[in-house]
Amino acid sequence: MSEEFNGYYRFPTIYNDQIAFVAEDDIWVVPSSGGIARRLTTNVGEISDLTFSEDGKWIAFTGRDEGVPDVYIIPSIGGVPIRLTYLGANSKVLCWHNGKIIFSSNYVQPFKRITSLWEVDVEDKRKLKQLDFGICTEISFGKEKGVVLGRKTGDPARWKKYRGGTAGELLIDLEGNYNFRKLIDLKSNFANPIWIQDRIYFISDHDDVANIYSCTVEGKDLKKHTYHNDFYVRNPKSDGKNIVYHAGSDIYILNLSNNVSEKVNIKYYSTLPQRNRKFVDPTQYFEGFSISKDAENLITTHRGKSFYYNNWYGPVKQLGKENGVRYRLTTYLNLKDEEKAVTISDENNYEHIEVYDLKTGNLIKKVEEYDLGRVMNIVASPKDEEILLTNQRNELILIDLRNHKKIDVDKSTFGPINGYSFSPDGRWIAYSKFINSKQAAIMIFDKEKEEVHQVTKPILFDVDPVFDPEGKYLYFLSYRIFNPIEDRFQMNLAFEKGTKPYLITLKKDICSPFQEIIKEEEEKEKEKKEEEIKVDIDFDNIADRIIPFPVSEERYVNIQAAKEKVFYAISPVSGVLEDEEDMLSEKHEKLTLKYYDLTEKEEKTYLEGISDFQISEDKEKIAILIDDELRILKTTNPPSPEQEKECENKYTRKCGWIDFHRINVEVQPLLEWRQMLCEAWRLQKFYFWNKDKLDEIEWDKILEKYYPLVERIATRTEFSDLIWEMQGELKSSHAYEMGGEYKPKPVYKIGYLGADLILDEDRKLYKISHIVKGDIWDEKNKPPLLGPGVEVKEGDYLLAINGIEIKDKIPNEFLVNYSGKDVEIVVSSSDNIDHKRKYVVKTLKDETPLRYREWVEKNKKYVHEKTDSRIGYIHIPDMGYTGYVEFHRNFLSEVRYDGLIIDVRVNSGGFVSSMILDKLNRKFIGYDLSPYREAQAYQYDSVRGPMVAITNEFAGSDGDIFSHSFKLMKLGKLIGKRTWGGVIGIWPRNPLVDHTITTQPEMAFWFKDVGWDVENYGTDPDIEIDITPKDYKENKDTQLDMAIEIVLKELKENPPIAPNDIKKP
């Protein structure tokens, strides 16, 4: 067996006869003619973006050895890497120029998605300077003062054939006087400009697959140099004689003298340590559970593997194949012997049903003949070898496992099936179905007659139906309580709870269980219970037999029935920003588990702080999920405070905690990556928004193209890169990949002082050139150097941090791993260095929110001053919760002005554009006057005069939608640049086994004026204006200035009626 391995090669750079590249997240070198590759680093963090120094002695790279991407160098012959920057921001090494390293970074930006260019002196890392080209991603230098910039350039392979407003563009300045112009006009997503002699080389995908092209510095004589027709050319670098790049997972050299491109044959030898087998924490990768009828045995699924075992003792056995197959939704079949389980398997890249014998662990049947789509949930029949399942197509399907029979129970074209259950005798199926786009009703399906009955008349949504164990009632949750609360900030009301549990009596002669009954009737009921339960339903006027539970209106999220008890969970009412998480978060909501005791006719609390629960089929036990731990208790009584104290960290039957650490979860990375790549691509096919185009996408052919590259992958980072490029074949927005389990590395975050520091080269001291202003009262984001007891001024020198003089180091070096901590600083004034002052300040974990606040307040002040306080200003950073908050923070005060500028530049999207547009669309039609206060505009909070909006290339998704809708609704002029062009929405809910999130473009936007054409184009402004590099250098915001000019002009032409203009009767 050969020890040679074909690796996954990326980020190559070249100097004469030597190539350096990245594989396994480390730097390797190989002769440019090919041969044996030599490993140069064994770093703990991932490495990317290599570039040789001008003399070939050093390699600069982006390193992450302390958790954040910063600039590093290493001798090209090998040695110890040296960290040059301590920005703690998103930095990327670009090139060398005159002995300095040029890199891009979002450091000191008010937005994380915006980068500018920086340089750092290799001889003295204190000489760090931000270049004054403004927003920029790449650069290449000409012979003298010439510069070519890449703006908005990225990796075209990740969204192939992208043509939206953020498509990469190349700007050239031949004289070094900041008079930049477009290099060449092509419908392309440009990237990676390289200035070689009198030509500019670059990547372009204007002719389908991205290849290397060049043109003269005048933008003439376009030439094609590479001819790849499968994989995109990516990340080229040059030494002036050759260009090296990667395509697929191979490295190629383009010889500029003969215009020939050849693959570099690399002999690669490695122990591939990140492919080694490992065992992971089952709690961390817990996916779901199923309990046996009596809750004495469990099936739990962890990282795509299902295990079955007794709760308290004995061995834990794995179901199905050990590796390489994902099992989901594994569930006990509720048969008398409880010896079978059903699961969804994706063996052979096809999702299907499998049934296992739990005595032997053997597979006993497969149900592969049906296209089930992406199965979302499974419920087993209490009587028969049958299961109910739902899928992404909003179908409810009954599968007879014994006879391999499929019954399509129902389907909604409006929304998902929200809860379903069998009756105790297995004949009836209750489920919630959207009957139109605004209402969901409870339906009952009769298996014997194959008939469907609607049994509720919803006001809005009736969901989560569950049968009473005795077959007398159907319980469900309903959204039908309209009890508003007042908004504290504005004239508005909200329905913050809205739900209650309800029941329907299944027969006409059944009374409400909330009524007291006499003793004789109670005895008769007990006799009936001992009989075999057979459920009969009177459908005549059944919807009118609805009875509310005598409990308060809350935010109910689940309901299940036990004997004489109905359990339900309640979600707390809390602000969404109190513990804001992103889509990678797996933090569970803390619910309160309550139950209604039908015997004692009262509601009681069972347990606080739960995540989910499930009642056993015999109704005697309740399985409670608390974060990622499971507990099984009796339904009869909640645990007492004494029991809770006694049971802390005890895995016993009495305490109920399940010890997941009994489970051995083995991971074979290569087998897992194979499975994950296939599943990621299946998910795209399952959810892709345009059914009519499904056949146009060559799903199998694309997978066949990328699947062999998995065999070359040796790290999780490489796997991520492969998924991104494969999903780029969709040529669609919002096809992302993020998260997942990476090689462990230290994360030492920098604590920020909220200030700009510059090196005074004469005194060799750091001067505080600017203190960032912000909200002093904001505990999370307040400026560390401002506030009571801290007398630090701009112009002061920073001498020491935590008792150590700064001297030859960078201040941020002393702040590594001090994120959010108290530090002591020593400062002195510029006119009296010897007079030192000490202060203790708390560093910021992230400076961006503070810089954003300063940027907004600066713009607001500028608008007020330029318009003599006649125009208000609002910026909306996104269309999520934060953006909604930011809009109201400013709108509710700025709306008092005669007109309004709404700035959505760099808006990162979300879902609240409609709510914001609704408010902006309020029409001013009069005043509400009072003798002792200023008149209020009516409609309340309406803008009395003109509005304009500013947008740019970095406004995307719901930012696109807002920008286009602002124009379409004729709210005012749209000013700026064409937007991103990504309006196919996502709903991330299908994590891969290692917690990777992939997003599927599944909800597309159509507009009545342009149809589908905002996608992959953006929306054009009414007035196009750019902020050029020269504008940035001169500190001009030409877009904001134009907005001010337009709104003042419109205000002059159509001034609003002032209260003083109104004649009183």
Backbone angles phi, psi at 752, to 5 degrees: -100, 145
Cα–Cα distances (Å) from 1024 to 905, 929, 978, 1011, in that order, read 13, 41, 8, 22
Residue of 957, 963, 965, 1002 with catalytic role:
957
Closest CA to 684 of 697, 675, 674, 671: 697
Q: What residue type is 319 in one-letter code? A: L
Q: Peptide bond before 643: cis, by omega within 30 degrees of 0? A: no
User: Which residue matches tokens 């086994």?
Assistant: 993
Choosing from 354, 729, 741, 1015, the catalytic residue is 1015
- How many angstroms separate the Cα of 138 from the Cα of each of 51, 150, 153, 243? 13, 4, 7, 17
Q: Which residues contact 386 (CB under 8 A, 6 or more apart)?
A: 380, 398, 399, 400, 401, 402, 426
Distance CA 98, CA 92 (A): 18
Q: Which amino acid is at 609?
A: G
d(CA 463, CA 68): 45
- Burial class, 170, CB count within 10 angstroms (exposed 0-12 / middle 13-18 / buried 19+): buried
Selection from 858, 865, 872 nearest residue 772 by Cα: 858
Rounded to a whole number of angstroms, the distance between the first and last alpha carbons of the chain is 101
Q: Which two tokens stand for residue 192?
A: 């990676």
Tell me the DSSP string of 688-736.
-S-GGGTTTS-HHHHHHHHGGGGGG--SHHHHHHHHHHHHGGG--TT--
Q: Is 672 a catalytic residue?
A: no
Query: What are the tokens at 966?
Result: 């602002």
**What burial class does residue 178 get, using C-beta atoms within 10 Å of its C-beta: 0-12 exposed, 13-18 middle, 19+ buried?**
middle
- Sequence-distant (≥ 6) Cβ neighbours of residue 1045 within 8 angstroms: none
Which DSSP string corresponds to 459-505?
Answer: SSEEEEEEE-TTSSEEEEEEE-----EE-SSSS-EE-S--EEEEEEE
> Can you tell me the distance from the alpha carbon of 783 to that of 755, in angstroms, rounded to the nearest whole number?
9
| Cβ–Cβ < 8 Å for 993, 672 | yes
| Phi, psi (degrees; rounded to nearest 5) at 888 | -70, -35
Length of the chain: 1065
Residue 72 DSSP SS3: strand
Question: What is the Cα–Cα distance from 635 to 638, expressed in whole angstroms?
Answer: 7
Buried b vs exposed e over 388-415: b needs ≥16 C-beta within 10 Å? bbbbbbbbbbbbbbeeeeeeebbebeeb
| Rg (alpha carbons) of the chain, rounded to whole number | 33
* CB within 8 Å of 446: residues ≥ 6 apart: 427, 428, 452, 453
Nearest residue to 212 via CA among 171, 174, 245, 241: 245
Whether residue 574 lies in the annotated active site: no
Tell me which residue of 714, 721, 722, 743 sits closest to 268, measured CA to CA.
Answer: 714
734 an active-site residue?
Answer: yes
Distance CA 973, CA 20 (A): 51
Catalytic residue among 246, 734, 888, 964: 734
994, two tokens: 């290692």
Catalytic residues: 734, 957, 1015
